[in-house]
Structure 1
Amino acid sequence: MIGESTQENSGPEGMSRRQLMRHAGWFGGAVILSVVGGEVISHVAHNHDQAAAATAADDPNTLRFVQVSDSHIGFTGPANTDVTGSFEHAIDRINSLGFRPDFVMHTGDLTHLSTPGQFDQVKQMLSTVHTDRVFVVPGEHDSVGDHGTAYRRAFGANTSGDGWYSFDTHGVHFLALVNTLSLEKFGHLGTEQLDFIRRDLAGLKSDTPIVVFSHIPLFAMYPQWGWTTDDSLQVINMLRRFSSVTCLNGHVHQLFTKTEGNITFHSATTTAYPLPKPGHASQPVPQVLPAGQLKDALGIRDVTFHEGDHALAVKEERLT
C-alpha cells in the first residue's frame, strides 16, 4: 500500500452463464458480469453502462475497486517505447470510469529494474488516481538485486515480513501476498508467509468472501515458464472452507480465468507490453505487435461486489 478443476479453452459460442463467468477473458472489456439473486448474469457492455456503474457505486453496500498490473516503469524496447505514457493512459481511464473506486490495487512489476527513481515515479503517478486508497504487491522486477529492499522502502509501510498484509472492507477480506522474492523457477510464498495466512484466516467465518492478490499465479497456469507458485496448494487448502474465493494476479500480461470449486483465478493484462500465450513461443518475452494494435492488448480491471452476494463481478477495460 502507498506509504502504509479444469482449464477450459473453448470459444464463446453456446456458453452457459456459468461458462461465461469462467471465460470473461475471452470478451476483453465487452462483457459485464453481475450476481443477482445468486445467479450470474452477463451482458454486453454499452455506453450507458458507465451511468449504471455510477448509480451502483452510490449504494453503500457496493464495493468497487480497480486492478492494474505490470506497468514496468523503466522498460525500454520496441514492444512499447512509452510505458510511462501507457500507464498514464491507464490512470486516466480509472479517473474517467464514472465512479470513484474504493481502492486501486497494483499487482506487481510496478518498475522494470527496481531503481529508487523508478519507484518514486510510480509512487507519484499512483498518487494522481482518484481513489482514497492505493495498495500494491511486488513483482519479481521490483526486487532486482536487493531482495525487495527498495520496494519495501517505497511501499512497505504497515506490512508484515517481506511486504504481505491483509485488510477488510464492505464485508470482504483481502489478502495481499508476496510470491516473487525466492524465485528459482516458480513463485514461492515460504513458511513465514504461510503461517501469517493461517493465522489471518483462522478467525473468519466460512461465508466471508475472500479476495487474494499476488503477482505470480497461485495456480499452475504454465509451469514450463514458471507461471505458478510451488507452495500455493497449502494456501488453496486453507481457502477451501470459504464459500467464495477470488484470486487476482498479474505477471502473465494477459487475461486468463480458471475455476476450481469455490475458487476462481483471474490473471490480469498489463499496461506495458504483451507476452505470448502459453506454448506459442519458446519463452515469455515481450511481443511486438503490428502498428496500432498495442492498446488492444493493454488494460485495467474493474471489480464490483454487492454485500450479500457470493461472487464478484469482473469487467475488463481495454486501453483503446
Structure 2
Amino acid sequence: MSHHDHHDDENPGVSRRRVLECMTWAGTGVLWTVTGGVPRSLGLVDSAEAAEPAGMTFLQISDSHVGFDKPANPNALGTLEEAINKVKAIPTKPSFMIHTGDITHLSKAAEFDNAERIISQAKLDVHYVPGEHDFIDEEVKLYKERYGKGTKGAGWYSFDAGGVHFVGLVNVVDLKAGGLGNLGNEQLEWLEDDLKGKSKSTPVVLFAHIPLWTVYPQWGWGTEDGARALEYVKGFGSVTVLNGHIHQVMQKVEGNVTFHTARSTAFPQPVPGTAPSPGPMKVEDAKLRGLLGVATINFKQNNQPLAIIDTPLQG
C-alpha cells in the first residue's frame, strides 16, 4: 500500500446517486474523478486529456505481470511502460493510482524492482493490493516487505480521500476449489469493523485482485466469500468495486453497487467459455494493441443495458 495520506476537502452530501461512467484504457487504466464524493469517469481518452476535472481524480491499472515473456506478449515490461507514458500525458495530474494486483509474474525481486522503476515514472502515490502471482516467492515476503507496511493481516487496509472511503482487500492467499478467491473470517471481521464508523452517505470503493462477484466460477473467476463482504456495504448509498485478474472489461450494477474489472497491461485472456481454460491468449502481433485499446462503458439510468464501446490503441 501507499504510505501517504490524502486529504481533500469534502463536498456536502449528494441528494441522489449520480450516474457512473467507466473509461478503461485497456493496457492503461481507468481514470476517475470524484465530485461531491461520488466517483465518475472523465470520458474518452481524448476528451479526458482535454477536460478540466472537478474534484479528485484517480487511476486504476492492473495485471502488469512484469517478468512475463511468453508469446502472448514477449515484452510485458514494455507495454507497462507504454501504459505509464499514457498516464504521464494526462494534463491534470490524478491524486493517486490503484494497482489491483499481479504486479509481477513470478514474485522475483528483480520483477518487483522493474515494476517499481516503471510505475514510479508516473510520479503518483500508488495503493497496491496483491495478485496471486505476487505471493509465490518461497517465503511470501517480497510483496509484504515492499508494500505491506502499515497493513493488516496479509495486506489489507483502508484510507480516505476526497470524501470517499477506500478499502484494499486481499483475496489471493487461500484460494479455494478451482482457484476461487477467498477473504477469510479475520479479514471479513476487520472489514465489518472498519465500515461500522462510517456514515451511510459516505461513498465506498472496495478494490481487490480477484473479482468479488461471481464472473465465471468454472475458471475460478470469483471470490467464494465475496457475498459476505458485499453484505457489509449494502447500506451505503454509493459503492464501487474495482478488480483485475480476468484481463478484460466486465461491468455490472446491482442496486447501490457498481462492479468493474480492468484489463491487463500485459496480455489478454479469453472471454469466459470460449476456451478450455483461462490464461494468456496469443493473438497476431498486429492485433495485440488492438485488444489493448480503449473501452468506454456508459451506465445509463432506468435499467438500460450497459453500452460498451471499444476503441483500439492502434488499427
**Residue 95 of structure 1 pairs with residue 92 of structure 2:** no
The offset of 1:158, in angstroms, is: 1.4
Deviation at 1:296, TM superposition (A): 2.6
Q: Does 1:69 align with 2:62?
A: yes
CA contact (8 A) 2:27 2:79 kept: no
Structure 1 Cα separation of the partners of residues 289 and 58 of structure 2: 22
CA distance in 2, matches of 1:276, 1:92: 26
Q: Which amino acid aligns with 1:209?
A: P
**Alignment correspondent of 1:155:** 147
Partner in structure 2 of residue 228 of structure 1: 222
Residue pair 2:34, 2:162 contacting (<8 A) in 1 also:
no
Say if 1:173 and 1:210, in contact at 8 Å, map to a contact too.
yes
Shift of 1:146: 3.8
Q: Which amino acid aligns with 2:212?
A: L
CA–CA distance in structure 1, aligned partners of residues 151 and 122 of structure 2: 22
Shift of 1:117: 1.4
Once the two structures are TM-superposed, the CA of residue 68 in structure 1 deviates from its matched residue by 0.4
Change (3 A) 1:217 1:42: closer
Are residues 285 and 173 of structure 1, via their aligned partners in 2, closer, same or farther at CA, if it must alter by over 3 Å? same
Cα distance in 2 between the residues matched to 1:271 and 1:28:
4
CA distance in 2, matches of 1:140, 1:181: 7
- For 2:134, give the aligned amino acid: D
Among 165, 172, 175, which residue is 1:183 paired with?
Answer: 175
Counterparts of 2:2 and 2:309 in 1: how far apart (Å)? 25
1:113 equivalenced with 2:112 (yes/no):
no
RMSD, matched Cα: 3.5
| Letter matched to residue 253 of structure 1 | H
Where does structure 1 lack aligned partners over 5 or more consecutive residues? 5-17, 304-313
Mapping for residues 141-290 of structure 1, pairs under 5 Å: 141-146=133-138, 148-184=140-176, 185-290=179-284
Q: 1:250 to 1:75 in 2, by over 3 A?
A: same
Give SS of 2:229's match.
helix
- Give the 3 Å change call, closer, same or farther, for CA 130–81 of structure 1 in structure 2: same
Distance 1:265 1:78, change over 3 A: same
TM-score in terms of structure 2 length: 0.81
- Alpha-carbon offset, residue 290 of structure 1: 1.7
Change (3 A) 1:316 1:67: farther
Could you list the runs of 5+ residues in structure 2 that have no partner in the other structure?
A: 5-16, 298-307
User: What letter matches 2:243 in structure 1?
Assistant: N
- Aligned-residue identity in percent: 41
The one-letter amino acid paired with 1:177 is L
Q: Counterpart of 1:157 in 2: which secondary structure?
A: coil
Q: Distance in 1 between matches of 2:271 and 2:199?
A: 38
8 A contact 1:86–1:272 mirrored in 2: yes
Query: Which deviates more, 82-91 or 137-146?
Result: 137-146
Deviations 1:241-264 (A, max 9, x none): 001000000000000001111101
Q: Show CA shifts across 1:242-296 (max 9, x none).
A: 0100000000000000111110110000100000000000100211112322123
Distance 1:34 1:134, change over 3 A: closer
CA gap 1:274/1:198 in 2 versus in 1, 3 angstroms: same
SS of aligned partner of 2:86: helix
Does 1 or 2 have the higher relative contact order (CA < 8 Å, sep 6+)? 1
How many pairs were matched up?
286
Task: Give the Cα–Cα distance (whole angstroms) in 1 for the partners of residues 143 and 32 of structure 2.
Answer: 34
Query: How far is the alpha carbon of 1:97 from its aligned partner?
Result: 1.6
1:44–1:141 CA distance, 2 compared to 1 (3 A): closer
Aligned mates of 2:59, 2:296 — CA distance in 1: 5
TM-score by length of 1: 0.80
